[in-house]
Amino acid sequence: MHEYVNKREYKRESCQALDLADELAPLRDAFHLPEKVIYLDGNSLGARPKAALARAQEVVAQEWGQDLIRSWNKAGWFDLPARLGDKLAPLVGAKAGEIVVTDSTSINLFKVLAGALQMQANQAATANRLVIVTERSNFPTDIYMAEGLTAWLDRGYRLRLVDAPEELPAAIDKDVALVMLTHINYRTGYQHDMRATSALAHAQGALIVWDLAHSAGAVPVDLHADGADFAVGCTYKYLNGGPGAPAFAWIPGRHQETFRQPLSGWWGHATPFAMAPQFAPTAGIRRALCGTQPIASLALVECGLEVFARTSMQAIRAKSLALTDLFIALLESRCAGHPLNIVTPREHERRGSQVSVAHPHGYAVMQALIARGVIGDYREPEIMRFGFTPLYTRFVDVWDAVDILKDILDNKKYDVTEQRVAVT
Ligand SMILES: *Cc1c(COP(=O)(O)O)cnc(C)c1O
């Protein structure tokens, strides 16, 4: 992989040259991107693969419209969650038969947390452990799901919230049943060391659950090599599966036999069409399923995954770091003097595929950017998030985005009285 960015060159032409030399550049054509928009929010909702429109048409008109109920077998609807899981597996270092694409991240987290806690409760050595370690800065739904599950179980579980990654070694002790972490923080873009943290958990006899919402399709992940126990993640962010597309759950082969989850719907049954009055979990990853899947939405996930099959996570990562390095360098050179605070770590290993920038009027500045066609988003407190998705973001987009931001800041072209909208 060649060096993308010469940090001393800050010219639009040099960005154009980088685009010409970019081996991923042809993949941009696989996406529909609106005119006059620089889309830097693929970390929240990925862009639409062009193929998704034809696929939606096929699912609705042919598979549903013409083939009707026969499509469960004929079009492979029934197998779709596991078949998509196998396509996603190489992106996160999973094996075939270990992932299902299903439900939402929140719901998959519920199932995985419940299964993991039960595994610990069933073992004499860990049965008395009642602590779940996570971060206060974790995405709220992850904390809420753990709160909801443990309150419901009513066995005395409690959450131990750490305020910084450095506190994890002390927080993970012999009382801990489970460590639940989001690999890349949604707000700051901080990336945990999955291998070191998983080893910390295991050294104390705890299990570790990783949320890959901002990792899958964004950075190389190697779940097996890094010693993860369970993982969940999102398909509508970097994987470009479509708004509200089903999420995924990873149960490694070594845990599948002991893994049981409480949403024991008929899709997780060994013989769903035997219509037995008692639940018996099926062997393998399908036991992580609950009920009938949203086929139209699920089918579109494949269109995003097919783009990833044309490249490698190593190539994606190299370009991602080049894009984020360029953005940071341009902010520092062209927007110096403005109260911008880059909260995303500078070290490559600690960074995801976004750059988060705090500004006292972050919300108003982001609204001004969006009005000029530079779409990022805003997260409390004060943080403007810029996501860089190497499949369709060009180096020249980075240049132009900073150019517009510079104009907005230099000339105070933002309205501090801007009213908040429902989704920021
Ligand atoms: C985006 C995201 C979610 C979203 O969960 P949903 O159930 O899809 O709403 C959950 N956790 C993390 C860490 C996220 O970044």
Per-residue pLDDT of 336-362, as tens digits, reads 999 999 999 999 999 999 999 999 999
**Threshold 0.85, pTM exceeds:** yes
Ligand 1 centroid vs 139 CA: distance in angstroms?
A: 7
Q: Active site residue: 286, 372, 385, 394, which one?
A: 385
Ligand 1 site-directed mutation target among 103, 180, 186, 353, most atoms within 8 Å of CB: 186
**pLDDT band (50, 70, 90) for residue 418:** confident
**pLDDT band (50, 70, 90) for residue 29:** very high
Using CA positions, which residue lies closest to atom 14 of ligand 1?
A: 213
- Asked whether the predicted pLDDT for residue 273 surpasses 90, the reply is yes
Sheet containing strand 230-233, edge to edge, reads 99-102, 247-250, 230-233, 207-211, 176-182, 131-135, 158-162
Is the backbone peptide bond immediately before 34 cis, with ω within 30 degrees of 0? no
Using CA positions, which residue lies closest to atom 15 of ligand 1?
A: 213
- The one-letter amino acid at 91: L
Q: Active site residue: 187, 237, 319, 379, which one?
A: 237
* Structure confidence at residue 9 (pLDDT): 57
Ligand 1 centroid vs 184 CA: distance in angstroms?
A: 12
SS3 letters for the chain? CCCCCCCCCCCHHHHHHHHHHCCCHHHHHHEECCCCCEECCCCCCCCEECHHHHHHHHHHHHHHHHCHHHHHHHCCCCCHHHHHHHHHHHHCCCCCCCEEEECCHHHHHHHHHHHHHHHHHCCCCCCCCCEEEEECCCCHHHHHHHHHHHHHHCCCCEEEEECCHHHHHHHCCCCEEEEEEECECCCCCEECCHHHHHHHHHHCCCEEEEECCCCCCCCCCCCCCCCCCEEEECCCCCCCCCCCCCEEEECCHHHHCCCCCCCCCHHHECCHHHCCCCCCECCCHHHHCCCCCCHHHHHHHHHHHHHHCCCCHHHHHHHHHHHHHHHHHHHHHHCCCCCCEECCCCCHHHECCEEEEECCCHHHHHHHHHHCCEECEEECCCEEEEECCCCCCCHHHHHHHHHHHHHHHHCCCCCCCCCCCCCC
Using CA positions, which residue lies closest to atom 2 of ligand 1?
A: 213
Per-residue pLDDT of 130-186, as tens digits, reads 999 999 999 999 999 999 999 999 999 999 999 999 999 999 999 999 999 999 999
Residue range 69-79: average pLDDT? Answer: 97
Residue range 83-90: average pLDDT? Answer: 98
Task: Ligand 1: list residues with CB < 6 Å.
Answer: 104-106, 139, 141-142, 182, 186, 211, 213-214, 234, 247
- Asked whether the predicted pLDDT for residue 126 surpasses 90, the reply is yes
Ligand 1 site-directed mutation target among 109, 139, 144, most atoms within 8 Å of CB: 139
* Structure confidence at residue 10 (pLDDT): 75
| Residues 237, 240: Cα–Cα separation, whole Å | 6
Q: Are 181 and 151 in contact (CB under 8 A)?
A: no
211 an active-site residue?
Answer: yes
| Residues 8, 11: Cα–Cα separation, whole Å | 9
Residue range 318-340: average pLDDT? Answer: 97
Ligand 1 centroid vs 17 CA: distance in angstroms?
A: 36
Per-residue pLDDT of 297-309, as tens digits, reads 999 999 999 999 9
Mean pLDDT of the chain: 96
